[in-house]
Chain A
Amino acid sequence: MAVTLKTVVLDSEKCIGCITCMRRCPTEAIRIVNGKAKILYEKCINCGECVRSCKGGAKRPVYDSFDLVKSYPYKIALPSPSLFGQFNNLDDPNYVIEGLLALGFDDVFEVGLAAELVTDCTKKLMRKNTLERPVISSACPAIAELIFLRYHELKDHLLNLYAPAKIAAKLAKKQAIEQGVPADDIGIFFISPCPAKVYSLHREEVSNEKYISGVLSQSDVYFRLVEKMNKIKNPRKLLRCGYSGLGWGSSGGESNSLGLGNYIHCSGARNVQGILAEMSDGKLDGADFVELNMCPGGCVGGVLNVENPFIARNRMRQLAEKLKIPPATMEQFGLDESFFLWDKAPEPSTSFQLDTDRFAAMQKLMKVEEYLKKLPGIDCGACGAPTCRTHAEDVVKSGGVLDCVKLREVK
C-alpha cells in the first residue's frame, strides 16, 4: 500500500453531501465541507461504517491490489474465517483452500487455525490471573482504536495478544523459511473482511516487525476465487482449523471457545459503545471476558464481504459443525506466550481532547458551552457537523465563527 494509511477515501464525484455517513460515523469523524463528506483521519477508526451507509458508493475502502501478489516468488494466502461463509452451497471448506492454491498461492495458512492458538494462549493467561478483568478482546482493531481514542480508562483491559491474522503471518513465514524458502521471496497476503484490519496490519502498532506483504479485500478475492472453485472436483483434506477457529468469524465465536461462564459478546457500533460505557462505570466488573466486534454480527459483517452477515453466519455454523478437527494447541506448534504477546502497547490518541493542555482545554470547553446555549440543539447537520456540540467544538478548535442556518433565520 502506498504508505498512506487512509483505508477509506472519498470519491468526490459520487459524493452528494447527503450527511448519511456523517450521522452514522461512530466517532464523529466526518464533516461536510463544500458539499462533500470529508474524513478527519485523526478520529477515524477504520470501521467502514461510512462505506456501509453510503448509498451512492462514494466512500471507497482502500486495500492492496491483487497484482501485488505476483511480485513475490513464494506467495502465502491467509484467509480469515469469515471468507468461508461467503459461498452459496459450499459443503466442504476445502474447496476454498484448493481455490486459493489454484489462484496461484503456494501455501495457505488459515487465520482460523491461528485463532485457535490465540484462544489457547488467552486461556493460559486467564488462568494465570494476571490480566485486568474483564479482559477485552483485541481481535477487532476498530475496537482497539476506539478504546485508544475515547476509552483510555479501559486500555489496560485490552488483551495484549496479537490478533489471529498476525499470528498466522508469523507462523506462515516461519514455516516457509524452515522449508528453505529465502525470506525475501516470501509474500504474505491477508484476505481482509474490513478496512480496520487493512489498517492494523499495515500500521503494526503493537509489533516491532512486519510480517504482512499486503492486505487484500475479501470481495476482490471472492470473484477470482469462485471461478477457480467451480473447476475443482475432489478437494484434498487440507483444512486445518476446526469448529472453534471458524467460529471466530462471527460474534461470540472467540468468547465461546474460551469456555468461560461469565462473558459478554456484542457487535455493532452502537451496542459496543453502550457496553464500553457500562464497563467504564464499573458495571461489568464481575465478567471475565468481553468480546466486542464493531461490525454487526462480527467479522461476517465487515464491509469487504460480499454476503449478508447473517446468511454467512448461518453457513459458517453449518460448515463448522461438521468439522471433527480438535482445536490447535501451542504445544503442537512448539510455541510459548512470547510468540503472542504485543511488543509494545499503542499510545492513546489525544484527538478526542479539546486541547492537550488542561487549562487551555477548560477555556475551550467554556467557550463550547457558551456556543451551545446559542445553538438550537436539533443536530440538523446543515452546518456540516454531526451535532450542534461537534459544530461548537470545531469552531472553538479552529477559531472560526458559528455557521448555523437556524441562527441566520433568527437574524
Chain B
Amino acid sequence: MDCIRLEYDVDGENFASAGNASESVKRTLKQLGIPPASVRRVAIAMYEGEINMVIHAHGGKAVAEIYPDRIDITLKDTGPGIADIGLAMKAGWSTASENIRSLGFGAGMGLPNMKKYSDEMDIDSVVGVGTTVFLRIRF
C-alpha cells in the first residue's frame, strides 16, 4: 500500500495558526483508528517541531507520510540553521528571545521532547541555509 501524504505550509508570521498542521495530522490519525497513545506521541512531537519552525525559522513546510505501521514527519525550513545540534538537543537550552519567552515558549524542551516521543529522529542543519527535522513514530 502507498502511504498517505499530507503537506502543510507552516506560516512563520502567524502565531495563532501555529499548530494547525499537527492538529490536522492528529485528526487524520484518529480517523484511521490509530491507538490513542500513538496519536498523543505524534501530536506532541510534531507540534514542537512545527512551533520551532515558527519561532526560530520564519516558518517552512511540514510533510506527514502515514503508513499502516508508522508515520514519517519531515519539517523543512530555510531559517538560520542550528550551529551546534548537540547543544540544541540539551534539555533547557534555548536561544529564544525575551519576547518569545513571554509567550510561554523557550524552555528549551521542544527538541528533547521530540526525541522522547519519537522512535527515530534526525536533524540536518546548515547555518544560514536551513534545518530539516525528520521524525518517525511507530504505531
State whether A352 touches B31 (Cβ < 8 A).
yes
Contact of B36 among A152, A354, A356 (CB under 8 A): A152
Whether the Cβ atoms of B33 and A350 lie closer than 8 Å is yes
- Complex contacts, A155 vs chain B, CB 8 Å: 36
Interface membership of chain A positions 351-370, coded 1 if the CB is closer than 8 angstroms to chain B and 0 otherwise: 01111111101110110010
Q: Is there a chain A Cβ closer than 8 Å to B66's Cβ? A: yes
- In the bound complex, CA of A159 to CA of B73 (Å): 34
Interface core residue of A282, A353, A363 (most chain B CB under 10 Å): A282
Chain A hits for B4, CB < 8 A = 362, 365-366, 369
| CB nearest to B3 among chain A residues | A362
Decide yes or no whether B34 CB sits under 8 A from chain A. yes
Shortest C-beta distance, B16 to chain A (Å), equals 11
A281 at the interface (CB under 8 A from B): yes
Q: How far is the CB of B62 from chain A (nearest CB, A)?
A: 15
Number of interface residues of B (CB under 8 A): 24
User: Are B44 and A366 neighbours in the complex by a CB distance under 8 Å?
Assistant: no
CB-CB < 8 A to B19: which residues of A?
281
Q: Which residues of chain A have C-beta atoms less than 8 A from B68's C-beta?
A: 358-359, 362
Complex-state Cα separation, A354 to B43, whole angstroms = 20
Q: Is the CB of A152 within 8 A of B30?
A: yes
Chain B residue nearest to A278 in the complex (CB): B19
Write out, one digit per residue, whether chain A residues 234-272 have a CB within 8 A of any chain B CB (1) or not (0): 000000000000000000000000000000000000000
Chain A residues, Cβ within 8 Å of B6? 369
B32 interfacial by beta-carbon distance below 8 Å: yes
- B32 with A282: CB separation less than 8 A: no
Contact status A281-B33, CB under 8 Å: no
Closest Cβ of chain A to B26, distance in Å, is 7
Bound Cα distance A152, B37 (Å): 9
Docked pose: A363 CA to B43 CA in angstroms: 22
- Whether the Cβ atoms of B2 and A353 lie closer than 8 Å is no
Contact A153/B2 with A280-B43, A281-B19, A352-B31 known, Cβ cut-off 8 Å: no
Closest residue of chain A to B39, judged by CB? A153
B134 at the interface (CB under 8 A from A): no
Q: Is the CB of B28 within 8 A of A365?
A: yes
A281 partner, pick from B2, B22, B28, beta carbons under 8 A? B22
Chain A residues closer than 8 Å to B2, beta-carbon distance:
366
Q: Is B101 at the interface (CB under 8 A from chain A)?
A: no
- Residues in B neighbouring A350, C-beta threshold 8 A: 33
- Min CB gap B32→A, angstroms: 5
Is B40 at the interface (CB under 8 A from chain A)? yes
B44 touches A358 (CB 8 A): no
The answer to whether B47 and A353 have CB atoms under 8 Å apart is no
How far, in Å, is A190 (CB) from chain B's closest CB? 32
Q: How far is the CA of A71 from the CA of B34 in the complex (A)?
A: 49
Q: How far is it, in angstroms, between the C-alpha of A352 and the C-alpha of B1 when the chains are bound? A: 23
B120 contacts partner chain A, Cβ-Cβ < 8 Å: no
Given contacts A277-B26, A281-B26, A283-B47, 14 further A-B contacts (CB under 8 A): A150-B30, A152-B39, A280-B40, A281-B22, A282-B44, A282-B113, A353-B32, A356-B33, A358-B68, A361-B32, A362-B68, A365-B4, A365-B32, A393-B31
A residues whose Cβ falls under 8 Å from a Cβ of B: 150, 152-155, 277, 280-283, 350, 352-359, 361-363, 365-366, 369, 393
